[in-house]
Amino acid sequence: MSKGRVTVIDIAHAAGVSKSTVSLVLQGSSLVNEATRAKVNAVIRDLGYVYNRSAANLRQAKSKIIGIVVNDLTNSFFAELAVGVDVVVQSAGYVQFLSNTGENIDRQREVVASMREHGISGLIVSPARGTEAGDLKPLVNSGIPVVVVVRNIPGAKVSSLVSDNHAGSAAAVEHLVSLGHRRIAFLGGFPDTAVFAERIDGYRQAMQRAGLDADGDLVVGSAPSRAGGVAAIERAMLIATRPTAALCFNDAVAFGVCDGLRTLKLEPGRDFAVVGFDDVIEAQTAVPALTTVSVDPQGMGRRAAQLLLKQINAGKVEAETLVSSVRLVVRQSCGAGLGDVGRRITA
């Protein structure tokens, strides 16, 4: 915003019409004569007029901006997500505020507040770890549509878009079965979360369909972390009839499982098949990557944005939960029908 900014009144003056007429051509209204419209447009070009959206927004009490906050833009999963959002947001004529929280919940609170002050008309958030329903409360109470992606936040009355955990688990199991595995473990995760319930359910059903035993010792819960993965595989290997493969609650657990296997002098992929779950992509390059149940981050971003725009246009906000389909990404098969492991490929 420069000093000598030219305004509607200037161009109205120069074109010999009134401001409202100018306003009308600005909005592409058909209520204005073709001749005057041309005249006005010409003057607009000549004077180098730029539309002031702040003023318009103030007047209309609505903005054409949506906010997106992600927990870790450094992680290419979320960068892709942001790109997906950007694509549909841009083509809908919106611009996006983007903020990175770096898993810092205070920062998240700040940026959300800031965005609110700026009058965003909607928010897409991939919440930082530990986000609670209360953190989004003020936003949703003021009627601003919010879409939570990737991680759902229990108790919040907002729309969310998460991956198809059930189908993902099932696909992983079917894959392992097709490789000849019969003792397939499910490792990691806390049983008291919705995500866990969905994943374990998909696992159980697929096992059952394959005529395999899914109960008992094959399911070993743990913290959904790398350390948890180590603990889980150690426990699982104490079973009399050891598993030969494992579906892990998420990638972090999978990496821990690999760590644990190596401690046991077993090579992941050769001696034991490990499948990860793309909930949290962690340290992609620091460990040998594996076959995973993957989601399409950019597609998720697009879908989230579409959902948000729908709600913005609808005026009415109804919490809605969408499920994003997943696909099994097999990295590299290493013979012997015993699992697979390979290099991670960035989508």
Partner DNA sequence: CTGTTAGCGCATTCAC
Partner DNA sequence: GTGAATGCGCTAACAG
Task: Supply the minimum distance, in Å, between the C-beta of residue 180 and a second copy.
Answer: 28
Name which position in 42, 45, 51, 74 contacts DNA (CB under 7 A).
51
Alpha-carbon Rg for the chain, nearest whole angstrom, is: 26
Residue 118 in 3-state DSSP?
coil
Cβ-contact 268, 248 below 8 angstroms: no
Q: Hey, which residues between 8 and 37 contact DNA (CB under 7 A)? A: 8-9, 16-21, 23-24, 26-27, 31-33, 35-37
Asked if 283 contacts 70 with a C-beta cutoff of 8 angstroms, the reply is no
Kindly indicate which of the ranges 74-82, 124-132, 183-191, 205-213 contains the residues binding a second copy, using the contact rule CB under 8 A: 74-82
Stretch that binds DNA, among 6-14, 138-146, 153-161, 272-280 (CB under 7 A): 6-14
What values do phi and psi take at 149, rounded to 5? Answer: -120, 160
Out of 31, 238, 240, 286, which residue is the one contacting a second copy (CB under 8 A)?
A: 286
38, 42, 45, 55: residue in contact with DNA (rule CB under 7 A):
55
Determine, following the binding rule CB under 7 A, whether residue 120 of this chain makes contact with DNA.
no
Cβ atoms of residues 109 and 79 within 8 Å: no
Q: Closest by alpha carbon to 273, among 171, 207, 341, 210?
A: 341
Burial 309-327 (b: 16+ CB within 10 A, else e): bebbeeeebeeeebebebe
Confirm or reject binding of residue 116 to a second copy (CB under 8 A): yes
32 touches which of DNA, a second copy, none (CB within 5 to 8 A by kind)? DNA
> Parallel, antiparallel, or unpaired for β 245-248 and 273-277?
parallel
How many angstroms separate the CA atoms of 138 and 292, rounded? 37
How many residues form the binding site for DNA (CB under 7 A)?
A: 29
Q: Which residue has the tokens 């450094």?
A: 74
190 binds, among a second copy, DNA, none (CB under 5 to 8 A by kind): none
φ/ψ (deg, to 5) at 147: -120, 125
Which DSSP symbol is given to 303? H
**Residue 238 binds which of a second copy, DNA, none (CB < 5-8 A, kind-dependent):** none
- Contact partner, 116, from DNA, a second copy, none, Cβ < 5-8 Å per class: a second copy
Q: Which of residues 316-335 bind DNA (CB under 7 A)?
A: none
Q: 218 near 210, Cβ under 8 Å?
A: no
Binding mask 83-112 for DNA (x = CB under 7 A): ------------------------------
Partner in contact with 152, chosen from a second copy, DNA, none, beta carbon below 5 to 8 Å by kind? none
Q: Which of 10, 120, 6, 4 is nearest to 52 (CA)?
A: 6
CB 67 within 8 A of CB 96: yes
Q: Single out the segment in contact with DNA by CB under 7 A; choices: 51-59, 142-150, 192-200, 272-280.
A: 51-59
Please give the residue ranges that form the binding site for a second copy (CB under 8 A).
1-3, 5, 48, 50-55, 57-58, 61-63, 65, 73-74, 76, 79-80, 82-83, 86-87, 90, 95-100, 102, 107, 110-111, 114-119, 121, 138, 141-144, 283-286, 289, 298, 343-346
